[in-house]
Amino acid sequence: MTQKELVLDAIGELPDEASLEDIAARVEFLAAVQKGLDQLDRGEGIPHAEVKRQLATWLTS
Within 8 A by CB and 6+ apart from 22, the residues are 14
**What is the tally of structural domains in the chain?**
1
Each residue of 7-43: pLDDT tens digit?
Answer: 999 999 999 999 999 999 999 999 999 999 999 999 9
What's residue 20's pLDDT? 97
For residues 11 and 26, the answer to whether their CB atoms sit within 8 Å is yes
Give the structural domain span for 25.
Answer: 3-60
Nearest to 30 by CA among 59, 60, 61, 2: 2
> What is the pLDDT confidence band of residue 61, given thresholds at 50, 70 and 90?
confident
For residues 30 and 12, the answer to whether their CB atoms sit within 8 Å is no
pTM of the model: 0.72
What's residue 34's pLDDT? 95
Per-residue pLDDT for 50 more than 90? yes
